[in-house]
């Protein structure tokens, strides 16, 4: 099957999922065409059956603001004509799904029309989807798709509630490759950070306000009242400056390590004992799943789709959003009870493999593609 994939080529969860999905589909014999404005970060090596098409946005003096969605639609038309695409899989409703819709209408009577599959990842519904001026376009892109998926039950319910639509939505969760995300020795981390990897907390995100990165520092500060502990912060974004300032105000400069964006996540996750996810909104929680696959229990907020990944009292603990004291107490329970920690650690690995293994999830997408291609 010839499959086009539209995604953001960045560190965000949707881009990671889309890229890993494409790579897995290619290993199974499908021809995959990534169509986006830059090479996806996870396409670091050459692989058979994968092609990349860069979207170049033309600059016209008449336009004060250049239109990526129109340029993307034009590139989809070009690829569809020559690659005979069967399916275009759009990750995010805006701009990707609406661009696919425009492109599919543009190739009518010119080339073979393709089927559009739209995957909703979160902010396209919880943020863009409630924007008054964009809401009709989000609804249109979903209603005109041949199939729609959401990464969690929570997100599916939010879509129905926010958009008042009747379009069927399949829940296909994010996934993990346990051969990549697994516990590895943290000797390098010991040398770099001067830690024995005993009481290390870790957080990975894009440092947007919704991720509540500052809460991780407050949790650390609370835990350190009882136990000597360090915090590794991986990522970058608008709240990094505030996080660094708070670290200095609390006198934690020697205990908080800001690493910026990193690609060696299995090694870094393996250096920690607990993963912190105190988000204010989370449609799934891919970073938590990656930590669980590396045998790291999670302490986070009981909001959104996190509870569909983290099972409270089995592979992690969940507390009300913003409840620093409760999260700190949960961290201490894990760090101070070795038997409990080992049970949670084993459960985290087992649950991630049994429920979110890449092979089973990719098969779900293949079945979906076959279903829409067979539709008249």
Domain ranges of the chain: 2-174+357-374, 187-356
Cis bond upstream, residue 301 (ω within 30): no
Cα four-point dihedral sign 119, 281, 251, 327: negative
Distance between CA atoms of 81 and 185, rounded to whole angstroms? 49
Written as six digits, the tokens of 263 are 């690609």
Encode pLDDT of 20-69 as tens digits. 999 999 999 999 999 998 888 777 777 899 999 999 887 766 666 678 88
Helix%, strand%, coil% for the chain, nearest 5: 45, 15, 40
| pLDDT for residue 373 | 93
Query: Do residues 80 and 4 make contact, with C-beta atoms less than 8 angstroms apart?
Result: yes
For residue 167, give the nearest of 97, 216, 81 by alpha carbon: 97
Dihedrals phi, psi of 349, to nearest 5 degrees: -65, -45
> For the segment 157-172, what is each residue's pLDDT rounded down to a tens digit?
999 988 888 899 999 9
Q: What is the CATH number of domain 187-356?
A: 3.40.50.2000
- In the sheet that 200-204 helps form, which strands lie side by side, from edge to edge? 256-260, 230-234, 200-204, 274-277, 298-301, 316-319
Token representation of residue 268: 């870094």
**Separation between Cα atoms, residue 142 and residue 54, nearest integer Å:** 25
Interior/surface letters 89-110, b for 16+ CB within 10 angstroms, e for the rest: bbbbbbbbbbbbbbbbebbeee
Euclidean distance between CA atoms 332 and 326, whole angstroms: 10
| pLDDT of 26 | 95
Do 274 and 301 touch, CB atoms closer than 8 A?
Answer: no
**Rounded to whole angstroms, how far apart are CA atoms 304 and 174?**
14
Instruction: Give dist(CA 273, CA 327) in Å, integer.
Output: 14
| Residue-level pLDDT at 127 | 65
pLDDT the model gives residue 363: 97
The DSSP output letter for 96 is I
Ordered alpha helix ranges (H), 64-196:
68-83, 98-106, 123-126, 135-143, 153-163, 187-193
Helix (H) or strand (E) holding 50: strand 50-54
* Topology agreement, domain 2-174+357-374 and domain 187-356: yes
SS3 256: strand
**Superfamily the domain 2-174+357-374 falls into:** Glycogen Phosphorylase B; (3.40.50.2000)
Cα end-to-end span (Å), the chain: 17
Query: Tell me, what's the pLDDT at 57?
Result: 80
Measured distance CA(332)–CA(172) in Å, rounded = 34
Helix axes 324-336, 338-356, angle to 10 degrees: 100
Nearest to 36 by CA among 83, 89, 102, 81: 89
Residues of the chain with pLDDT under 70: 11-12, 60-65, 108-111, 126-131, 186-197
Give the pLDDT confidence score for residue 207 in this predicted structure: 94
């Amino acid at each position: 099957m010839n499959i086009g994939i539209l995604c953001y080529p960045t560190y965000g969860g949707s881009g990671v999922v889309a890229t890993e999905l494409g790579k897995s589909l290619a290993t199974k014999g499908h021809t995959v065409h990534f169509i986006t404005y830059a090479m996806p970060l996870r396409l670091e090596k050459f692989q058979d059956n994968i092609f990349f098409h860069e979207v170049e946005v033309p600059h016209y003096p008449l336009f004060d603001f250049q239109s990526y969605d129109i340029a993307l639609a034009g590139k989809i038309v070009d690829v569809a004509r020559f690659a005979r695409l069967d399916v275009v899989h759009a990750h995010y409703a805006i701009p990707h799904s609406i661009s696919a819709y425009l492109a599919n209408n543009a190739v009518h009577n010119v080339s073979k029309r393709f089927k559009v599959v739209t995957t909703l990842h979160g902010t396209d519904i919880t943020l863009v989807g409630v924007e008054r001026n964009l809401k009709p376009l989000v609804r249109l892109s979903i209603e005109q798709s041949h199939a729609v998926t959401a990464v969690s039950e929570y997100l599916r319910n939010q879509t129905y509630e926010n958009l008042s639509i009747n379009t069927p939505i399949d829940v296909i969760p994010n996934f993990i490759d346990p051969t990549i995300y697994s516990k590895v020795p943290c000797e390098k981390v010991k040398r770099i950070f001067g830690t024995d990897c005993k009481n290390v907390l870790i957080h990975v995100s894009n440092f947007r306000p919704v991720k509540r990165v500052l809460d991780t520092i407050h949790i650390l500060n609370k835990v350190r009242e009882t136990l000597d502990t360090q915090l590794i912060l991986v990522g970058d974004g608008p709240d990094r400056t505030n996080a660094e300032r708070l670290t200095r105000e609390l006198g934690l400069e020697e205990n908080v390590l800001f690493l910026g964006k990193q690609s060696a996540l299995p090694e870094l996750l393996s250096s920690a004992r607990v993963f912190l996810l105190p988000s204010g909104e989370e449609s799934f929680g891919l970073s938590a799943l990656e930590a669980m696959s590396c045998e790291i229990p999670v302490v986070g907020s009981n909001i959104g789709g996190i509870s569909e990944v983290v099972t409270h009292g089995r592979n992690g603990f969940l507390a009300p959003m913003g409840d620093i004291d409760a999260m700190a107490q949960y961290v201490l329970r894990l760090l101070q009870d070795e038997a409990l920690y080992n049970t949670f650690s084993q459960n985290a690995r087992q649950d991630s493999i049994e429920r979110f293994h890449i092979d089973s999830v990719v098969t779900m997408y293949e079945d979906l593609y076959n279903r829409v291609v067979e539709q008249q």
